[in-house]
Structure 1
Amino acid sequence: MKDLLIRAVSGALYISLLLGSLFWSKIAFLIVVFVFGVLVSLEFCRLSKFAVWIGIPVLGLLAGLLHWVVPSVIDPTLIVSANILANLALLPWLFKAEAKLNDWQRKLAFVGYLCLGIASLSLLPLDNDVFNYKVVIAVLCMLWANDTFAYLVGRTIGKTKLMERVSPKKTVEGFLGGAVGGLAIGYAAHMIYGVYGLTNWMILAIIVVIFGTLGDLVQSKMKRQAGVKDSGVIMPGHGGIYDRMDSLIYAAPFVYIFLILNCYVS
């Protein structure tokens, strides 16, 4: 009971910081995402044996470029697209059981998948440079509903393993349960916000569920190859901040591109 309470409190604090910063202002959200990004980067560096003294400055440089330099020179969508390519490049490694990242692949993964993923996340609330937090709140709720329903359904009736060599506890039944949870939030968002159309919300929910699950699996394989259960200890009952943000970081660029192509332009 005590462990459950600790888990609930640390999870509530994490959610409160993210949602609270979104409600507060653009700058508050950027600060929270950057601080979380630094913590995630530290944990990633430990998992992948990547030099921290290189990793954190690279993250800071990319964040600064993306928000203050790049927009005046090129469309940030091109940077987000590079993030998507890096994420997709990880899939052969993920699905090949014995595959390991070599030194160069780890460096490219840190920059292209992790740093650009955090940067893509920071761009999500920006609609033509106007801070629009409502869709991001819906995306966060989709991810959390996916995680919660996947856990509950998988624990209750899960039998068919999803990717046993990567994450032994994940099941196909849990994945489908998570998808139902994500779609339910998509429907609720459509009813509450009344914009973008139901079809767009359903497609967005599917994107969040699929790529959020892939992000979770990518991190699970990294932990398995590093021989650790959690990425860190900063969140009692959960592990590390990377354990909580893996799905969000991986899904962020796909969500951003979809919103640009199908929602913000409508």
Structure 2
Amino acid sequence: MKRILTAVVLIAVVFALIFFGKLWMITLCAALVAELAAYEYLQLASVGAEVHGAKLRIPVWWMTLGTALAFVVTLPNFPVEAQLPVLSALTLALFAWNGFRAPLIQVLPDTAQGLFGLLYIAYPLTLVPLMWKQEDGPALLLFLMVCVWCGDIAALYIGKNFGKHKMAPRLSPGKTWEGAIASVLGSVIAGMAVVWISDVLTARGNLILHIAQPVWQSILLAIQLNIAAQAGDLLESAIKRGAGVKDSGTMLPGHGGILDRIDALLVAAPVLWYILLMKDYFGLGRF
């Protein structure tokens, strides 16, 4: 029951932000989620280091500041070129901090893990407000979220009840090929439902969910997003298994941690962004 209630509340909040929120609201909420996920990442990295007899030395203040700055430089007042210098400055700051405080053998691993945390968590979530403010941004984000969510639900229930062939037992013993196939189908069906609703609303003159691309492109996009989402789920499992824990945290009743809920999105969102860039570069039209 806790799992269902938590899911309902989270879905309601996301839908409200997509259709009724402002850019600053979406940016703030994405940044808050990133901060919480980054904190969980630090805990996982710390536990993983202890497993190997080391102590992680990534200061919380650095991760908090770095995650916040990742969102700040995406605001309209900042040029796109500001992102790389800020990331470089943060990396050098952590490098210097570890260089003078940590055992020499830990300088490189700790700095690398800190930088990875920003690239793995903060950067993908900065794409959420960036996509929302694109033309037809709300429809774009809804398509992304629905494909990720419904694929996950289909994989959970079909894999649990009918799954027999293990997909990646070293990373996630519960994942099966039956669940993976059901996940792809779930994303495609959900994505087509969004397209159908878009067509109905557009025919009535309501462009809130306007989707311009052909149906075949939407089907292909749903498949690509699902594959990316499943990869994101497995990769987060690899981090947790390396740390010897089941969940990334306990912030969400019935769901584990924040990182457990957004692991698929952390890979699917960049993949969607790259696809949009390629569509624009090759003149394949907009979403």
- Alignment deviations for residues 137-186 of structure 1 (CA, whole Å, 9 cap, x no partner): 12111111100100111112111111101100001110000000001112
The alpha carbon displacement at 1:64 in A equals 0.6
Contact (CA 8 Å) 1:18, 1:29: kept in 2 or not? no
* Larger radius of gyration between Structure 1 and Structure 2: 2
Contact (CA 8 Å) 1:121, 1:253: kept in 2 or not? no
Alignment of 1:151-190 (within 5 A): 151-190=156-195
Contact (CA 8 Å) 2:150, 2:190: kept in 1 or not? yes
Matched, 1:192 2:197: yes
**In 1, Cα distance between equivalents of 2:266 and 2:277:** 18
Q: Which stretch shifts more, 131-140 or 209-218?
A: 131-140
TM-score, with normalisation over the residues of structure 2?
0.76
**In 1, Cα distance between equivalents of 2:59 and 2:215:** 45
**In 1, Cα distance between equivalents of 2:112 and 2:158:** 35
Contact (CA 8 Å) 1:142, 1:181: kept in 2 or not? yes
**In 1, Cα distance between equivalents of 2:188 and 2:82:** 31
How has the CA–CA distance of structure 1 residues 75 and 172 changed in structure 2, closer, same or farther, with 3 Å as cutoff? farther
- Alignment deviations for residues 50-86 of structure 1 (CA, whole Å, 9 cap, x no partner): 432210100111111122454x35498x99xxxxxxx
Note the residue ranges of structure 1 that are not aligned, 5 or more in a row: 80-100
The SS at the match of 2:74 is helix
**In 2, Cα distance between equivalents of 1:75 and 1:126:** 19
- Alignment deviations for residues 2-42 of structure 1 (CA, whole Å, 9 cap, x no partner): xxx11111111222222211122222221211111111111
Residue 253 of structure 1: aligned partner: 270
How has the CA–CA distance of structure 1 residues 8 and 198 changed in structure 2, closer, same or farther, with 3 Å as cutoff? same
**In 1, Cα distance between equivalents of 2:279 and 2:198:** 16
Residue 233 of structure 1: aligned partner: 250
Matched, 1:22 2:18: yes
TM-score, with normalisation over the residues of structure 1?
0.82
Residue 111 of structure 1: aligned partner: 118
Out of 35, 39, 44, the position equivalent to 1:38 is: 35
The alpha carbon displacement at 1:248 in A equals 0.7
Contact (CA 8 Å) 2:125, 2:266: kept in 1 or not? yes
Note the residue ranges of structure 2 that are not aligned, 5 or more in a row: 47-57, 86-107, 200-211
Residue 149 of structure 2: aligned partner: 144
Of all paired residues, the percent bearing the same amino acid is 27
**In 2, Cα distance between equivalents of 1:11 and 1:173:** 24
**In 1, Cα distance between equivalents of 2:127 and 2:133:** 10
Letter of the 2:2 counterpart: I
**In 2, Cα distance between equivalents of 1:191 and 1:21:** 22
Q: Which stretch shifts more, 50-59 or 209-218?
A: 50-59
Moved over 6 A (4+): none
Residue 230 of structure 2: aligned partner: 213
Contact (CA 8 Å) 1:200, 1:262: kept in 2 or not? no
The SS at the match of 1:170 is strand
